[in-house]
Amino acid sequence: MSLESYKTEGFFDELFASDGVPHPAAAGLVEQLDALSRADLKRRQKQAEDILYQSGNTFNVYGDKKGTEKILPFDIIPRLVSAADWAKLERGINQRIRALNLFIQDIYNDQKILKDKVIPAELIFSSACYLKPCEGLSPPKGVWTHISGTDFVRDGDGEFYVLEDNLRCPSGISYVLENRAVQKRILPKAFQTLKVRPVSNYGDHLYKTLKFIAPEGKDEPNIVVLTPGIYNSAYFEHAYLAQQMGVPLCQNSDLVVEDDTVYMRTTQGLKQVDVIYRRIDDEFIDPQVFRKDSLLGVPGIMNAYRKGKVALANAPGTGIADDKAVYAYVPKIVKYYLGEDAIAQNVPTYICEDDKERDYVLANLDKLVVKAVNLSGGYGMLIGPKSTKAEQKEFAEKIRAKPRDYIAQPTLSLSRAPTLIGNGIEGRHVDFRPYSLFGEDVFTLPGGLTRVALKKGSLVVNSSQGGGSKDTWVLGEENYYGVAE
C-alpha cells in the first residue's frame, strides 16, 4: 500500500517530515508498509481487531445507550518515538515526578511553598483534591506518586508539551501491553528490524515498585490490587495488572480491618495484606474518613495506613498535584524543589480564578480550550474553535459561577499520524501517555499509550469520546542491542 499519496496537510506528522518524505527514524517502517498491498494491510487490521476482541480488553462508558462495555479501537500503523525524543521525554518526566512528589509531601506537612508564596495558598485549599485527612501523612519511603501517566501532545513546532499530570489512578497501561502483543503478531518483520524497545516487563517493574514500599520486615509482602468491581470503567485493567503481577484481585468485601491491620479473606482464613495497589478514588476508599456513603471502600484502611501496617499506592491525597489549576505552577514547583528549569514544558494555561486571566478567557472562548479542573475523559471541555455560540455562552456562565473550577489553554495544532481509515490512510490527531513508576527510583516504560482521534479533524482523543489507540514504538539508540520482546 503506497504512502506516496499521503498528505501531511501542514501538520507535524509523526512519520513524515513532508509529503512523501519520512522522518529518518521512520524510513524503515514506511518502506515496509509500502511493501504491503492494501488488501494485506486491511487483512492484518482485521486480524488485530479479532485478537483484541477475543482478549476481552474492554472499557466502560457510563450512560451510553448503545451499551457500556466497549473494545478500544486499534489502528495497525504504529506511532514511532525516536531515541533522541525519548531521551528528552524521559528526563523531563523523571524531573517532574520527583518535584511533584516533594510538592505533595510539603503541602500535607510543612507547606513551605505556600509560606514562600510560590503558589497561592487559596488555590490549594479551595481544591476539591486537597484532602484534610491527609495532613501530617508521610507515606512509606517518602513516595506518594508510585504510578503516574503524564499526558503529552506534540505541537506544530515538533516539540512535546505536557498537557496533564495523572497521579491518582491513571488508566490505559493494559492497552499498551495488549497493543504491543498484537502488533508483534501483525507486523513482525517491521517490529524486529526497527529495534523497538520492550514494554512487556511492566508487570515486573510494577511488582518491584510495590514491594519496595512494603512495611519494614516484610521481605515477601502480600500485595493485592483493590478494584471497585466489574462496573468500573477500567475493571479489565485491574484484573489484567493483578494477573501480570501474579497477585490477588480484591474488592472491598474481600478485605477487613482488625486492630488497624488489613486482612484478606481466604479459604484458609484471614491473611494479612501488606501493600494495596488501590484503583479506588480517594473519596471512596474509606467511609470512616472520606465519603460516609461509600460502598466501595474498606472501613478503617486509612488508620492502618497511618500506623504503617499497610502501604497504599498511590498514596491518598496525590490528586492535589494533578489539579488542572495547580498544573500551571509545575514549572515553578520544579524550580522551587529541585533548583532546575523544567525540562518538559507546559502548555500555557489561564487560571479562571485569576481576575485578569478570567477576563481574557471570557473574551476569547472561541479560540481557547476550556477544561473543568476535576474532570477527565474529555468531559467538561469546550473546544472553542469548534464550538457554537450557545456552547460558548453556556461555558461563560459556568466560569462566572465557579471560576476556580475552570482553566483554559490555547488550541494547539496537535500532531497527526497516518491511520488506516476505510480503504485509505489519512492523518489523525494523536496524544501520548507514557507510564512511570516511582519506587527506589523513577522508571518510565519506553512506550506508552498513543490515543488517536478517529474522527477527521477532531482534537478529542479520549476513548470515552470515540478515540482509538496505536502501539507506540520507542526506538533504541544506534548501538542499542536490547532484544525485542
Q: Do both 446 and 330 map to the same domain?
A: yes
- DSSP track, 5-60: T---TTS-BSSEEETTEE-GGGHHHHHHHHTS-HHHHHHHHHHHHHHHHHHT-EEE
Cα–Cα distance measured from residue 343 to residue 330, given in angstroms and rounded to the nearest whole number: 11
Phi, psi torsion values for 233, nearest 5 degrees: -60, -25
* Residues in CB range of 140: below 8 A, 6 or more apart: 213, 214, 215, 308, 311
> Is residue 274 in a domain?
no
pLDDT, residue 484, reads 47
Q: Which residues of 20-41 are buried (b: 16+ CB within 10 A; e: fewer)?
A: eebbebbebbbeebeebeeeeb
> Is residue 297 in a domain?
no
pLDDT, residue 280, reads 95
pLDDT at 66 over 90: no
Least trusted range by pLDDT, from 59-63, 350-354, 382-386 = 59-63
> Is residue 221 in a domain?
no
Q: What is the mean pLDDT of residues 310-326?
A: 95
430, 451 in Cβ contact below 8 A? yes
Q: Do both 42 and 101 map to the same domain?
A: yes
- Do the bridges between strand 275-278 and strand 223-226 make them parallel or antiparallel, or are there none, so unpaired? parallel
CATH assignment of the domain containing 398: 3.30.1490.270
Q: Do both 440 and 479 map to the same domain?
A: yes
pLDDT, residue 367, reads 94
pLDDT at 480 over 50: no
Q: Do both 328 and 473 map to the same domain?
A: yes
pLDDT at 57 over 90: no
Q: How many domains does one find in the chain?
A: 2
Q: Do both 335 and 371 map to the same domain?
A: no
Q: Do both 363 and 463 map to the same domain?
A: no
pLDDT, residue 377, reads 58
Q: Do both 327 and 393 map to the same domain?
A: no
Cα–Cα distance measured from residue 384 to residue 367, given in angstroms and rounded to the nearest whole number: 5
Predicted confidence band of residue 467 (pLDDT cuts 50, 70, 90) = confident
Encode pLDDT of 241-273 as tens digits.
999 999 999 999 999 999 999 999 999 999 999
Q: Do both 324 and 363 map to the same domain?
A: no
For 267, counting Cβ atoms within 10 Å of its Cβ (0-12 exposed, 13-18 middle, 19+ buried), the class is exposed
Q: Do both 23 and 123 map to the same domain?
A: yes
Predicted confidence band of residue 54 (pLDDT cuts 50, 70, 90) = confident
Q: Do both 147 and 31 map to the same domain?
A: yes
Q: CA of 402: how far to CAs of 328, 381, 390, in Å? A: 18, 15, 19
> Is residue 2 in a domain?
yes
Encode pLDDT of 170-217 as tens digits.
999 999 999 999 999 999 888 888 889 999 999 999 999 999 999 999
> Is residue 250 in a domain?
no
> Is residue 460 in a domain?
yes
Q: Do both 375 and 466 map to the same domain?
A: no
The three three-digit cell numbers of residue 40, written as one number: 494485506
> Is residue 475 in a domain?
yes
Taking every pair of C-alpha atoms in the chain, what is the biggest distance, in angstroms?
69
Cα–Cα distance measured from residue 180 to residue 191, given in angstroms and rounded to the nearest whole number: 10
pLDDT, residue 375, reads 64
pLDDT, residue 190, reads 85
Q: Do both 25 and 149 map to the same domain?
A: yes
Specify the higher pLDDT residue, 448 or 375: 448
Query: What is the CB neighbour count within 10 angstroms for residue 110?
Result: 10
Q: Which residues of 433-444 are buried (b: 16+ CB within 10 A; e: fewer)?
A: bbbbbbbeebbb
Q: What is the mean pLDDT of residues 333-351?
A: 97
pTM comes to 0.93
pLDDT, residue 69, reads 63
Q: Which domain holds residue 146?
A: 1-215+310-347+434-484
pLDDT, residue 457, reads 86
Q: CA of 444: how far to CAs of 162, 206, 256, in Å? A: 15, 11, 34
| Edge-to-edge strands, sheet with 368-372 | 350-351, 406-410, 368-372, 381-383
> Is residue 48 in a domain?
yes
Q: Which residues of 141-177 are buried (b: 16+ CB within 10 A; e: fewer)?
A: eebbbbbbbbbbbbbeeeebbbbbbbbbbbbbbbbbb
Cα–Cα distance measured from residue 77 to residue 248, given in angstroms and rounded to the nearest whole number: 35
Specify the higher pLDDT residue, 446 or 380: 446
pLDDT, residue 43, reads 92
